[in-house]
Chains A and B, each alone.
Chain A
Protein backbone atom coordinates (compact mmCIF):
# COMPACT_ATOMS: atom_id res chain seq x y z
CA UNK A 1 0.00 0.00 0.00
CA UNK A 2 1.87 3.03 -1.25
CA UNK A 3 0.94 6.65 -1.02
CA UNK A 4 0.57 8.57 -4.27
CA UNK A 5 2.08 11.91 -3.21
CA UNK A 6 1.30 13.59 -6.53
CA UNK A 7 -2.41 12.96 -5.90
CA UNK A 8 -2.08 14.84 -2.62
CA UNK A 9 -0.21 17.81 -4.07
CA UNK A 10 -2.72 17.98 -6.92
CA UNK A 11 -5.69 18.11 -4.54
CA UNK A 12 -4.64 20.54 -1.79
CA UNK A 13 -7.53 22.92 -2.50
CA UNK A 14 -10.10 20.11 -2.29
CA UNK A 15 -8.50 18.81 0.89
CA UNK A 16 -8.65 22.24 2.54
CA UNK A 17 -12.31 22.65 1.61
CA UNK A 18 -13.19 19.18 2.89
CA UNK A 19 -11.28 19.72 6.17
CA UNK A 20 -13.02 23.03 6.87
CA UNK A 21 -16.44 21.64 6.05
CA UNK A 22 -15.67 18.64 8.28
CA UNK A 23 -14.72 20.85 11.21
CA UNK A 24 -17.74 23.08 10.74
CA UNK A 25 -20.17 20.15 10.90
CA UNK A 26 -18.56 18.73 14.04
CA UNK A 27 -18.34 22.02 15.95
CA UNK A 28 -21.90 23.05 15.10
CA UNK A 29 -23.12 19.72 16.43
CA UNK A 30 -21.22 20.04 19.73
CA UNK A 31 -22.46 23.60 20.27
CA UNK A 32 -26.06 22.56 19.60
CA UNK A 33 -25.56 19.54 21.84
CA UNK A 34 -24.34 21.78 24.69
CA UNK A 35 -27.22 24.22 24.29
CA UNK A 36 -29.71 21.34 24.45
CA UNK A 37 -28.05 19.23 27.14
CA UNK A 38 -27.18 21.91 29.74
CA UNK A 39 -30.77 22.75 30.74
CA UNK A 40 -31.75 19.08 30.43
CA UNK A 41 -28.87 18.05 32.70
CA UNK A 42 -29.83 20.61 35.35
CA UNK A 43 -33.38 19.29 35.16
CA UNK A 44 -32.22 15.67 35.41
CA UNK A 45 -30.01 16.58 38.36
CA UNK A 46 -32.77 18.37 40.28
CA UNK A 47 -35.78 16.23 39.42
CA UNK A 48 -34.94 12.63 40.26
CA UNK A 49 -37.71 10.88 38.31
CA UNK A 50 -36.68 12.74 35.14
CA UNK A 51 -33.09 11.63 35.51
CA UNK A 52 -33.54 8.00 34.53
CA UNK A 53 -35.94 8.97 31.77
CA UNK A 54 -33.65 11.56 30.16
CA UNK A 55 -30.47 9.51 30.48
CA UNK A 56 -32.29 6.42 29.24
CA UNK A 57 -33.74 8.31 26.29
CA UNK A 58 -30.35 9.73 25.29
CA UNK A 59 -28.89 6.23 25.60
CA UNK A 60 -31.50 4.90 23.21
CA UNK A 61 -30.77 7.68 20.70
CA UNK A 62 -27.07 6.86 20.98
CA UNK A 63 -27.60 3.21 20.16
CA UNK A 64 -29.22 3.81 16.79
CA UNK A 65 -26.46 3.17 14.23
CA UNK A 66 -25.29 6.50 12.81
CA UNK A 67 -25.84 5.41 9.22
CA UNK A 68 -29.47 4.61 10.04
CA UNK A 69 -29.95 8.00 11.72
CA UNK A 70 -28.73 9.81 8.64
CA UNK A 71 -30.95 7.72 6.36
CA UNK A 72 -34.00 8.10 8.58
CA UNK A 73 -33.52 11.88 8.61
CA UNK A 74 -33.58 12.02 4.82
CA UNK A 75 -37.39 12.42 4.57
CA UNK A 76 -37.12 15.34 7.04
CA UNK A 77 -34.12 17.31 5.87
CA UNK A 78 -32.93 15.66 2.66
CA UNK A 79 -29.37 15.35 1.35
CA UNK A 80 -28.14 18.42 3.21
CA UNK A 81 -25.71 19.61 5.84
CA UNK A 82 -28.69 19.93 8.19
CA UNK A 83 -29.13 16.14 8.17
CA UNK A 84 -25.46 15.68 9.07
CA UNK A 85 -25.62 18.21 11.90
CA UNK A 86 -28.87 16.84 13.39
CA UNK A 87 -27.46 13.31 13.30
CA UNK A 88 -24.22 14.36 14.99
CA UNK A 89 -26.03 16.46 17.60
CA UNK A 90 -28.05 13.42 18.63
CA UNK A 91 -24.79 11.57 19.27
CA UNK A 92 -23.20 14.38 21.29
CA UNK A 93 -26.26 14.48 23.57
CA UNK A 94 -25.63 11.22 25.38
CA UNK A 95 -22.05 12.09 26.33
CA UNK A 96 -22.77 15.71 27.20
CA UNK A 97 -25.92 14.93 29.17
CA UNK A 98 -24.38 12.07 31.14
CA UNK A 99 -21.18 13.97 31.96
CA UNK A 100 -23.00 17.16 32.92
CA UNK A 101 -25.33 15.26 35.25
CA UNK A 102 -22.39 13.39 36.76
CA UNK A 103 -20.47 16.65 37.09
CA UNK A 104 -23.36 18.25 38.96
CA UNK A 105 -23.69 15.13 41.13
CA UNK A 106 -19.99 15.34 42.01
CA UNK A 107 -20.40 18.76 43.68
CA UNK A 108 -20.14 18.09 47.44
CA UNK A 109 -23.42 18.56 49.31
CA UNK A 110 -21.53 20.55 51.96
CA UNK A 111 -20.45 23.11 49.39
CA UNK A 112 -24.02 23.57 48.23
CA UNK A 113 -25.22 23.86 51.83
CA UNK A 114 -22.54 26.45 52.52
CA UNK A 115 -23.72 28.47 49.52
CA UNK A 116 -27.30 28.19 50.76
CA UNK A 117 -26.32 29.21 54.29
CA UNK A 118 -24.60 32.27 52.90
CA UNK A 119 -27.92 33.24 51.34
CA UNK A 120 -26.98 32.50 47.73
CA UNK A 121 -30.05 32.00 45.61
CA UNK A 122 -30.50 28.68 43.72
CA UNK A 123 -29.83 30.10 40.24
CA UNK A 124 -26.74 31.93 41.45
CA UNK A 125 -25.55 28.79 43.26
CA UNK A 126 -25.96 26.88 40.01
CA UNK A 127 -24.06 29.41 37.93
CA UNK A 128 -21.30 30.40 40.36
CA UNK A 129 -20.84 27.28 42.51
CA UNK A 130 -22.19 24.10 40.93
CA UNK A 131 -21.35 24.61 37.25
CA UNK A 132 -17.76 25.80 37.89
CA UNK A 133 -17.13 22.84 40.20
CA UNK A 134 -18.72 20.47 37.69
CA UNK A 135 -16.66 22.00 34.88
CA UNK A 136 -13.85 19.40 34.77
CA UNK A 137 -16.35 16.57 34.30
CA UNK A 138 -18.42 18.62 31.84
CA UNK A 139 -15.31 19.54 29.85
CA UNK A 140 -14.30 15.88 29.76
CA UNK A 141 -17.68 15.30 28.10
CA UNK A 142 -17.19 18.19 25.67
CA UNK A 143 -13.81 16.80 24.68
CA UNK A 144 -15.24 13.33 24.10
CA UNK A 145 -18.19 14.75 22.16
CA UNK A 146 -15.95 16.92 19.99
CA UNK A 147 -13.49 14.20 19.10
CA UNK A 148 -16.34 11.73 18.55
CA UNK A 149 -18.18 14.15 16.26
CA UNK A 150 -15.06 14.82 14.23
CA UNK A 151 -14.69 11.08 13.74
CA UNK A 152 -18.42 10.54 13.04
CA UNK A 153 -18.80 13.25 10.36
CA UNK A 154 -17.31 10.80 7.88
CA UNK A 155 -20.30 8.47 8.21
CA UNK A 156 -22.39 11.14 6.48
CA UNK A 157 -20.50 10.28 3.30
CA UNK A 158 -23.32 7.80 2.63
CA UNK A 159 -25.72 10.70 2.23
CA UNK A 160 -23.36 12.73 0.07
CA UNK A 161 -21.90 14.94 2.81
CA UNK A 162 -19.33 13.77 5.34
CA UNK A 163 -16.44 16.22 4.83
CA UNK A 164 -13.25 14.17 4.77
CA UNK A 165 -15.37 11.01 4.77
CA UNK A 166 -15.92 11.56 1.04
CA UNK A 167 -12.30 10.51 0.63
CA UNK A 168 -13.13 7.07 2.09
CA UNK A 169 -15.93 6.40 -0.40
CA UNK A 170 -13.72 7.67 -3.19
CA UNK A 171 -10.85 5.38 -2.21
CA UNK A 172 -13.11 2.38 -1.59
CA UNK A 173 -14.86 2.69 -4.95
CA UNK A 174 -11.62 3.11 -6.92
CA UNK A 175 -9.62 0.64 -4.80
CA UNK A 176 -7.14 3.54 -4.32
CA UNK A 177 -5.74 3.79 -0.76
CA UNK A 178 -4.17 7.29 -0.93
CA UNK A 179 -7.38 9.32 -0.33
CA UNK A 180 -8.37 6.94 2.48
CA UNK A 181 -5.00 7.38 4.24
CA UNK A 182 -5.09 11.15 3.77
CA UNK A 183 -8.67 11.24 5.08
CA UNK A 184 -7.82 9.23 8.19
CA UNK A 185 -4.68 11.32 8.92
CA UNK A 186 -6.46 14.66 8.44
CA UNK A 187 -9.38 13.53 10.63
CA UNK A 188 -6.94 12.53 13.39
CA UNK A 189 -5.02 15.82 13.10
CA UNK A 190 -8.26 17.77 13.28
CA UNK A 191 -9.28 15.87 16.41
CA UNK A 192 -5.90 16.37 18.10
CA UNK A 193 -5.90 20.11 17.41
CA UNK A 194 -9.50 20.52 18.59
CA UNK A 195 -8.82 18.47 21.73
CA UNK A 196 -5.69 20.47 22.57
CA UNK A 197 -7.68 23.69 22.15
CA UNK A 198 -10.30 22.38 24.60
CA UNK A 199 -7.62 21.39 27.13
CA UNK A 200 -6.23 24.91 26.94
CA UNK A 201 -9.74 26.31 27.39
CA UNK A 202 -10.34 24.15 30.46
CA UNK A 203 -6.99 25.23 31.93
CA UNK A 204 -7.98 28.85 31.44
CA UNK A 205 -11.44 28.27 32.95
CA UNK A 206 -10.31 26.47 36.12
CA UNK A 207 -7.60 28.62 37.77
CA UNK A 208 -8.30 27.07 41.21
CA UNK A 209 -7.17 23.66 39.95
CA UNK A 210 -3.69 25.05 39.27
CA UNK A 211 -3.00 26.45 42.72
CA UNK A 212 -3.44 23.09 44.42
CA UNK A 213 -0.82 21.38 42.25
Chain B
Protein backbone atom coordinates (compact mmCIF):
# COMPACT_ATOMS: atom_id res chain seq x y z
CA UNK B 1 0.00 0.00 0.00
CA UNK B 2 2.79 2.39 1.01
CA UNK B 3 4.71 1.42 -2.12
CA UNK B 4 1.64 2.12 -4.25
CA UNK B 5 1.14 5.57 -2.71
CA UNK B 6 4.81 6.38 -3.17
CA UNK B 7 4.62 5.40 -6.84
CA UNK B 8 1.44 7.39 -7.20
CA UNK B 9 3.11 10.45 -5.70
CA UNK B 10 6.04 10.02 -8.08
CA UNK B 11 3.66 9.62 -11.04
CA UNK B 12 1.70 12.74 -10.15
CA UNK B 13 4.72 14.93 -9.53
CA UNK B 14 7.07 13.85 -12.30
CA UNK B 15 7.65 16.70 -14.74
CA UNK B 16 7.73 14.33 -17.70
CA UNK B 17 4.27 13.07 -16.83
CA UNK B 18 2.84 16.59 -17.09
CA UNK B 19 4.37 17.51 -20.47
CA UNK B 20 3.49 16.56 -24.03
CA UNK B 21 0.30 15.52 -25.80
CA UNK B 22 -0.17 12.55 -23.45
CA UNK B 23 0.84 14.71 -20.48
CA UNK B 24 -1.39 15.49 -17.53
CA UNK B 25 -1.67 19.19 -18.43
CA UNK B 26 -3.01 18.40 -21.89
CA UNK B 27 -5.37 15.65 -20.65
CA UNK B 28 -6.61 17.97 -17.93
CA UNK B 29 -7.43 20.67 -20.48
CA UNK B 30 -9.29 18.12 -22.63
CA UNK B 31 -11.22 16.85 -19.63
CA UNK B 32 -12.21 20.38 -18.60
CA UNK B 33 -13.29 21.15 -22.16
CA UNK B 34 -15.56 18.07 -22.38
CA UNK B 35 -17.05 18.65 -18.94
CA UNK B 36 -17.66 22.38 -19.12
CA UNK B 37 -19.08 22.30 -22.64
CA UNK B 38 -21.44 19.43 -21.78
CA UNK B 39 -22.58 21.10 -18.54
CA UNK B 40 -23.14 24.41 -20.34
CA UNK B 41 -25.26 22.79 -23.04
CA UNK B 42 -27.15 20.84 -20.37
CA UNK B 43 -27.78 24.05 -18.39
CA UNK B 44 -29.02 25.81 -21.52
CA UNK B 45 -31.54 22.99 -21.94
CA UNK B 46 -32.40 22.12 -18.35
CA UNK B 47 -32.61 25.51 -16.64
CA UNK B 48 -35.27 27.15 -18.86
CA UNK B 49 -37.21 23.87 -18.88
CA UNK B 50 -37.21 23.62 -15.08
CA UNK B 51 -38.11 27.32 -14.68
CA UNK B 52 -40.93 27.09 -17.20
CA UNK B 53 -42.44 24.01 -15.59
CA UNK B 54 -42.05 25.41 -12.10
CA UNK B 55 -43.56 28.77 -13.07
CA UNK B 56 -46.53 27.49 -15.04
CA UNK B 57 -47.05 24.33 -13.02
CA UNK B 58 -47.77 22.62 -16.33
CA UNK B 59 -46.02 19.51 -17.55
CA UNK B 60 -44.55 18.73 -14.14
CA UNK B 61 -45.40 15.05 -14.37
CA UNK B 62 -43.95 14.77 -17.86
CA UNK B 63 -40.78 16.71 -17.03
CA UNK B 64 -40.01 14.85 -13.85
CA UNK B 65 -40.49 11.51 -15.58
CA UNK B 66 -38.45 12.64 -18.56
CA UNK B 67 -35.77 13.71 -16.14
CA UNK B 68 -35.64 10.38 -14.39
CA UNK B 69 -35.73 8.70 -17.81
CA UNK B 70 -32.60 10.66 -18.71
CA UNK B 71 -30.96 9.80 -15.43
CA UNK B 72 -31.70 6.13 -16.00
CA UNK B 73 -29.96 6.07 -19.37
CA UNK B 74 -26.94 3.83 -18.94
CA UNK B 75 -24.03 6.00 -20.07
CA UNK B 76 -21.93 3.10 -21.33
CA UNK B 77 -24.85 1.77 -23.38
CA UNK B 78 -25.63 5.19 -24.80
CA UNK B 79 -22.04 5.84 -25.83
CA UNK B 80 -21.69 2.41 -27.43
CA UNK B 81 -25.03 2.81 -29.20
CA UNK B 82 -24.32 6.26 -30.67
CA UNK B 83 -20.82 5.02 -31.51
CA UNK B 84 -22.14 1.97 -33.42
CA UNK B 85 -24.70 4.15 -35.20
CA UNK B 86 -22.64 7.22 -36.01
CA UNK B 87 -19.06 6.09 -36.07
CA UNK B 88 -16.00 7.55 -34.43
CA UNK B 89 -16.57 11.10 -33.19
CA UNK B 90 -16.88 13.05 -29.96
CA UNK B 91 -20.64 13.27 -30.52
CA UNK B 92 -21.52 10.06 -28.64
CA UNK B 93 -19.59 11.32 -25.64
CA UNK B 94 -21.25 14.75 -25.62
CA UNK B 95 -24.71 13.23 -26.13
CA UNK B 96 -24.17 10.93 -23.17
CA UNK B 97 -22.76 13.66 -20.91
CA UNK B 98 -25.56 16.11 -21.70
CA UNK B 99 -28.20 13.42 -21.21
CA UNK B 100 -26.63 12.74 -17.83
CA UNK B 101 -26.58 16.36 -16.69
CA UNK B 102 -29.98 17.64 -17.87
CA UNK B 103 -32.10 15.60 -15.40
CA UNK B 104 -30.25 16.81 -12.30
CA UNK B 105 -30.64 20.42 -13.47
CA UNK B 106 -34.33 20.15 -14.42
CA UNK B 107 -35.40 18.35 -11.24
CA UNK B 108 -33.50 20.65 -8.90
CA UNK B 109 -34.70 23.79 -10.69
CA UNK B 110 -38.25 22.50 -10.53
CA UNK B 111 -37.83 21.51 -6.87
CA UNK B 112 -36.51 25.00 -6.11
CA UNK B 113 -39.49 26.59 -7.84
CA UNK B 114 -42.04 24.45 -6.02
CA UNK B 115 -40.33 25.24 -2.71
CA UNK B 116 -41.16 28.94 -3.16
CA UNK B 117 -43.80 29.89 -0.59
CA UNK B 118 -47.16 30.24 -2.40
CA UNK B 119 -47.97 33.22 -0.12
CA UNK B 120 -44.91 35.07 -1.43
CA UNK B 121 -45.96 34.32 -5.00
CA UNK B 122 -49.51 35.51 -4.27
CA UNK B 123 -48.18 38.67 -2.64
CA UNK B 124 -46.08 39.41 -5.73
CA UNK B 125 -49.10 38.95 -7.97
CA UNK B 126 -51.25 40.99 -5.58
CA UNK B 127 -48.81 43.87 -5.95
CA UNK B 128 -49.52 43.77 -9.65
CA UNK B 129 -46.36 42.04 -10.83
CA UNK B 130 -46.59 40.38 -14.20
CA UNK B 131 -45.81 36.73 -14.82
CA UNK B 132 -42.24 37.29 -15.99
CA UNK B 133 -41.61 39.75 -13.13
CA UNK B 134 -42.78 37.17 -10.61
CA UNK B 135 -40.54 34.59 -12.29
CA UNK B 136 -37.35 36.65 -12.50
CA UNK B 137 -37.68 38.91 -9.44
CA UNK B 138 -39.33 36.56 -6.95
CA UNK B 139 -39.29 32.89 -7.88
CA UNK B 140 -35.84 32.65 -9.48
CA UNK B 141 -33.93 34.34 -6.63
CA UNK B 142 -35.74 32.22 -4.06
CA UNK B 143 -35.17 29.02 -6.03
CA UNK B 144 -31.50 29.80 -6.71
CA UNK B 145 -29.94 27.77 -3.87
CA UNK B 146 -31.59 24.55 -5.06
CA UNK B 147 -30.82 25.42 -8.69
CA UNK B 148 -27.14 25.79 -7.74
CA UNK B 149 -27.29 22.43 -5.94
CA UNK B 150 -28.53 20.90 -9.19
CA UNK B 151 -25.77 22.53 -11.22
CA UNK B 152 -23.11 21.34 -8.80
CA UNK B 153 -24.47 17.80 -8.81
CA UNK B 154 -24.62 17.81 -12.61
CA UNK B 155 -21.09 19.14 -12.94
CA UNK B 156 -19.63 16.54 -10.56
CA UNK B 157 -21.39 13.77 -12.43
CA UNK B 158 -20.24 15.06 -15.80
CA UNK B 159 -16.61 15.45 -14.68
CA UNK B 160 -16.59 11.90 -13.29
CA UNK B 161 -18.29 10.47 -16.36
CA UNK B 162 -16.22 12.37 -18.95
CA UNK B 163 -13.77 9.54 -18.23
CA UNK B 164 -15.79 7.56 -20.75
CA UNK B 165 -14.44 9.64 -23.66
CA UNK B 166 -11.30 7.53 -23.42
CA UNK B 167 -13.35 4.34 -23.81
CA UNK B 168 -14.16 5.36 -27.39
CA UNK B 169 -10.52 6.37 -28.00
CA UNK B 170 -10.66 10.08 -27.13
CA UNK B 171 -8.65 12.03 -24.57
CA UNK B 172 -9.29 13.49 -21.17
CA UNK B 173 -8.13 12.10 -17.86
CA UNK B 174 -9.98 8.85 -18.58
CA UNK B 175 -7.06 8.00 -20.90
CA UNK B 176 -4.97 7.08 -17.83
CA UNK B 177 -7.77 4.94 -16.37
CA UNK B 178 -8.40 2.92 -19.51
CA UNK B 179 -4.75 2.75 -20.63
CA UNK B 180 -3.78 1.74 -17.11
CA UNK B 181 -6.45 -0.96 -17.15
CA UNK B 182 -5.21 -2.32 -20.46
CA UNK B 183 -1.58 -2.25 -19.29
CA UNK B 184 -2.39 -3.62 -15.82
CA UNK B 185 -0.75 -0.48 -14.44
CA UNK B 186 -2.59 0.24 -11.20
CA UNK B 187 -0.59 3.41 -10.49
CA UNK B 188 -1.77 4.96 -13.75
CA UNK B 189 -5.43 3.98 -13.09
CA UNK B 190 -5.19 5.41 -9.60
CA UNK B 191 -3.45 8.55 -10.87
CA UNK B 192 -6.22 9.15 -13.41
CA UNK B 193 -8.93 8.58 -10.80
CA UNK B 194 -7.25 10.93 -8.30
CA UNK B 195 -6.94 13.66 -10.93
CA UNK B 196 -10.60 13.34 -11.97
CA UNK B 197 -11.68 13.50 -8.34
CA UNK B 198 -9.44 16.54 -7.76
CA UNK B 199 -10.91 18.37 -10.75
CA UNK B 200 -14.47 17.64 -9.63
CA UNK B 201 -13.79 18.76 -6.06
CA UNK B 202 -12.07 21.93 -7.26
CA UNK B 203 -14.97 22.82 -9.57
CA UNK B 204 -17.51 22.04 -6.84
CA UNK B 205 -15.64 24.29 -4.38
CA UNK B 206 -15.52 27.05 -6.99
CA UNK B 207 -19.27 26.83 -7.57
CA UNK B 208 -19.91 26.71 -3.85
CA UNK B 209 -17.80 29.85 -3.37
CA UNK B 210 -19.73 31.52 -6.17
CA UNK B 211 -22.97 30.51 -4.46
CA UNK B 212 -21.82 32.02 -1.16
CA UNK B 213 -20.79 35.19 -2.95
CA UNK B 214 -24.19 35.46 -4.66
CA UNK B 215 -26.05 35.00 -1.37
CA UNK B 216 -23.76 37.06 0.83
CA UNK B 217 -26.58 39.51 1.60
CA UNK B 218 -28.97 36.81 2.65
CA UNK B 219 -29.49 35.65 6.19
CA UNK B 220 -30.61 32.13 6.80
A165–B79 alpha-carbon span in the complex (Å): 12
CA distance A165 to B78 in the complex (A): 11
User: Which residues in window 42-65 of B have CB below 8 A to A?
Assistant: 65
How far apart are B74's CB and chain A's nearest CB, in angstroms? 4
Q: How far is the CA of A153 from the CA of B174 in the complex (A)?
A: 19
Q: When the two chains form their complex, are residues B71 and A148 in contact, meaning their CB atoms are under 8 A apart?
A: yes
**B197 contact set on A, CB distance < 8 A:** 60, 63-64
The answer to whether B196 and A63 have CB atoms under 8 Å apart is yes
Separation of A143 and B111 alpha carbons in the complex (Å): 14
The proximity string for B residues 62-77 relative to A, scoring 1 for CB distances below 8 Å and 0 otherwise, is 0001001101111111
Total count of chain B residues near the partner, CB < 8 A: 43
CA distance A154 to B85 in the complex (A): 20
- Residues 1-21 of chain A: 1 if any B CB is under 8 Å from the residue's CB, otherwise 0? 100000000000000000000
Output the least CB separation between B24 and chain A (Å). Answer: 16
Chain A contact residues: helix, strand, loop or mixed: helix
Q: Is A151 an interface residue (CB 8 A)?
A: yes
- Contacting B at CB under 8 A, from A122-155, are 140, 143-144, 147-148, 150-155
> Within 8 Å CB of A66, what residues of B?
160-161
Decide if A171 touches B76 in the complex (CB within 8 Å). no
Question: Does B81 interact with chain A (Cβ within 8 Å)?
Answer: yes
In the complex, the answer to whether B201 meets A60 with C-beta atoms within 8 Å is yes
- Assess the A172–B84 pair: CB atoms within 8 A: yes
- A113 to B178 CA separation, bound complex (whole angstroms): 54
A86 within 8 A of B: no
Given contacts A68-B177, A195-B68, 12 further A-B contacts (CB under 8 A): A59-B204, A63-B159, A64-B193, A66-B161, A68-B189, A72-B193, A151-B74, A167-B77, A168-B76, A180-B77, A184-B74, A187-B77
Ranked nearest first, the 4 interchain pairs of A and B with the lowest CB-CB distance are A191-B72, A63-B200, A68-B193, A65-B163
